[in-house]
Structure 1
């Protein structure tokens, strides 16, 4: 999911360069003694410390290979700049998003199809990566995944005898029960730069309602948002109608704080909120469930995407060492270390998240009963969150749904066509 998380766990510098053995800093290099230094570039500052620990473990097993982990703020932009300078890192730890797609299309990533560890990957996540660029070649290995849906307070639900909703009608019934008992049923926070949280709703409702081939057809200029996405847009408006009145004035942090303190029964967000909520209230009993978009529970799949994939630079002078590091990361014990520390899910078969807040969705992950985030297939430069923010603002100002939807779809089509380079 293409988002910028506003809460960073721990204190991290804007540029973390983590050197794991006595050596000079910088890009990859060889020495006359046969020692090598490789760069692992992360687009997520949140996982830099975890990567440092794993890279240290790798160095113990491979003393001739030193790993430098770099994790700049706004890593995606930095990576694009490095692409223009033909300065691609040895190993990239990045999202399954438009930045990765740009790199894959630029032919600067190594095809990892023949690596032994590929057979250890869950097929749905591998397909989510390769479908982005329409090739059987594997330019990025899905590693860590996340999920979005309803984050709900289990104790509040139990207090009022509410079952975790599996259908739309059950969701609206839960809203009614919570509201009648003085609990804010659903808290939303779209304030300013936190408008990215609108995507948590959009990415949850769209897969069940949009045509299955929508992403491919609109990319090929064979359909439009206006033609296919009215039901999705209406459902988005229906959802925010159940939110509190001031959702345009609430921040992401506000919603997490209120939820952690028991002021609200539900938020619509993702697995990345778990450590933040628990940090605020270690005793809270809560969980994550798929969003029940329709009244057919079998159609309400879990929205889950590749949060971190691993790629190797095609022109790296250390490709054997790079691949050795990726292979090390793919080992079950190391994948387990990563997801436990990051409170994420894994694309590696047999590696399960055991956090109690994730119990309700881990079976979806294990069975591959998931659907990718729609915005992972949107072109770079298409700012859906901003368009959804305007749709939401219009709602608060009393614009009719019909006029609001019409304006939204027209704007989405215009901005998509401007951003789409594949027409």
Structure 2
């Protein structure tokens, strides 16, 4: 496994960014001094930049539209065409287009894309406008290359509706036994504890990422390296089983199981916003959907309690949305110009305000939501982990995505699932080693 230790440096980045939330005293009207900004670009041969994006949320699409409109006003010969699709569609599309040598000019980063199809951005001046720790963390799975330009910071944890808990005389659980008490009390009143569905499997998959990040990598940051060395395995590590059991027994088991296949991503967002569920495992991309339904809902963010020791609960925090340029793009200079604008304070502020996330652009400090205080509390106390599915090899995460619901729905047992996952871990390692020769 390629070194991923650089991700730990995101502590400094995220603590400083999130601690600044609420102050919003920075001048966000334009690019930082010394930052690379797009030249006027008025005239010249017409250029169309194609972007494939997995940012389906309306807030992300609105942000991209405003950013693209601003960029095109200053670069009248460049037209930006952005196409949005879900992760599965984007993965399939990119693999097909890569095989046909018809890659788009830019993509919102997906680690499933082989790095040899992407342009190394090392040394580009616009990167200096971003926090260097964030850039390093976003590219930690690569060997001394920069293929992804991160524009925001993400997390995966559990949103909780404070009003639902308070109205039922319940407190935020700090331990696993306290969580058991809370979910049982809600069940007795006919209230689903978790907004979890199976109509869109990402609704169920996101909390599992949060859980194994806590139980496995939150307890042993060197787990991947030790697994590659053959010192441990998924089958023999109780922390992997714990993640899957908590996911099956709590996140799914105390959801609206009878209606699970009718609950979509948007439905789950609405459930937590409207107080129809107490908890919801997801990332920052869900926050805008939650706020569209419940703009004043009293929502917090927490790590799932995984034991009787509250200190074992760690929030997954990581660089999230990034942009990459295809190596074979015929419009590389125009694509770089677009990234330069994305790295400006103007674009960073638009993205942070509309998408409700922390920006990686230096000087952009937007008070985007009260949950920023919750995230900062985990980071400042050191109760977070940067290790999630994004630092795992693609072949392995493909298998996770393919099989996780089988365990959730009791269609397989742990012995078989863990053996399959171990086999795919080794397969992914072999593929990487072969490609590196």
TM-score bracket relative to the smaller structure: 0.7 to 0.9
Please report how far the alpha carbon of residue 155 of structure 1 lies from its aligned counterpart in structure 2 after TM superposition.
1.4
Partner of 1:115: 124
Counterpart selection for 2:420 from 397, 411, 418: 411
- 1:90-121 Cα offsets, whole Å, 9 max, x none, are 332234x323xx1x1x2x32222212333443
Give secondary structure in 1 for the equivalent of 2:278: strand
Partner Cα separation in structure 2 for residue 115 and residue 234 of structure 1: 43
Partner of 1:8: none
Give secondary structure in 1 for the equivalent of 2:405: helix
Confirm or deny: 8 A CA contact 1:188 1:247 kept in the other structure: no
Question: Is residue 337 from structure 1 mapped to residue 344 from structure 2 by the alignment?
Answer: no
Question: Is residue 148 from structure 1 mapped to residue 169 from structure 2 by the alignment?
Answer: no
Partner of 2:326: 313
Please report how far the alpha carbon of residue 60 of structure 1 lies from its aligned counterpart in structure 2 after TM superposition.
2.0
Deviates more, 1:262-271 or 1:63-72: 63-72
- 1:359-392 Cα offsets, whole Å, 9 max, x none, are 3434269869552422551323733133221112
Partner Cα separation in structure 1 for residue 164 and residue 333 of structure 2: 53
Partner Cα separation in structure 2 for residue 129 and residue 117 of structure 1: 16
- 1:224-258 Cα offsets, whole Å, 9 max, x none, are 32133x32322431354233275375144354444
Partner Cα separation in structure 2 for residue 152 and residue 422 of structure 1: 39
Counterpart selection for 1:81 from 88, 96, 99: 96
Question: Judging changes above 3 Å, is the alpha-carbon distance between structure 1 residues 352 and 407 closer, same or farther for their aligned structure 2 residues?
Answer: farther
Given the two structures, how large is their TM-score scaled by the length of structure 1? Answer: 0.76
- 1:66-110 Cα offsets, whole Å, 9 max, x none, are 333333562232222221122333332234x323xx1x1x2x322
- 1:52-72 Cα offsets, whole Å, 9 max, x none, are 321110122233433333335
Counterpart selection for 1:55 from 62, 68, 78: 68
Question: Judging changes above 3 Å, is the alpha-carbon distance between structure 1 residues 245 and 311 closer, same or farther for their aligned structure 2 residues?
Answer: closer
Partner of 2:37: none
Question: Is residue 371 from structure 1 mapped to residue 378 from structure 2 by the alignment?
Answer: no
Partner of 1:276: 289
Partner Cα separation in structure 1 for residue 314 and residue 131 of structure 2: 16
Partner of 2:338: 325
Given the two structures, how large is their TM-score scaled by the length of structure 2? Answer: 0.73
Please report how far the alpha carbon of residue 309 of structure 1 lies from its aligned counterpart in structure 2 after TM superposition.
1.0
Counterpart selection for 1:91 from 102, 106, 111: 106
Give secondary structure in 2 for the equivalent of 1:241: helix
Question: Is residue 227 from structure 1 mapped to residue 240 from structure 2 by the alignment?
Answer: no
Please report how far the alpha carbon of residue 328 of structure 1 lies from its aligned counterpart in structure 2 after TM superposition.
0.9
Q: Which runs of 5+ in 2 are unaligned?
A: 1-40
Question: Is residue 67 from structure 1 mapped to residue 76 from structure 2 by the alignment?
Answer: no
Partner Cα separation in structure 2 for residue 124 and residue 248 of structure 1: 45
Confirm or deny: 8 A CA contact 2:214 2:316 kept in the other structure: no
Partner Cα separation in structure 1 for residue 74 and residue 293 of structure 2: 38
Partner Cα separation in structure 1 for residue 140 and residue 72 of structure 2: 34
Larger strand percent: 1
Partner Cα separation in structure 1 for residue 108 and residue 204 of structure 2: 26
Counterpart selection for 2:409 from 364, 377, 393: 393
Confirm or deny: 8 A CA contact 1:157 1:265 kept in the other structure: yes
Give secondary structure in 1 for the equivalent of 2:395: coil
Please report how far the alpha carbon of residue 176 of structure 1 lies from its aligned counterpart in structure 2 after TM superposition.
4.8
Partner Cα separation in structure 1 for residue 283 and residue 73 of structure 2: 35
Partner of 2:211: 205
Figure out how many residues of one structure are paired with residues of the other and give that number: 376
Please report how far the alpha carbon of residue 49 of structure 1 lies from its aligned counterpart in structure 2 after TM superposition.
4.2
Please report how far the alpha carbon of residue 141 of structure 1 lies from its aligned counterpart in structure 2 after TM superposition.
0.9
Question: Judging changes above 3 Å, is the alpha-carbon distance between structure 1 residues 383 and 305 closer, same or farther for their aligned structure 2 residues?
Answer: farther
Please report how far the alpha carbon of residue 419 of structure 1 lies from its aligned counterpart in structure 2 after TM superposition.
5.0
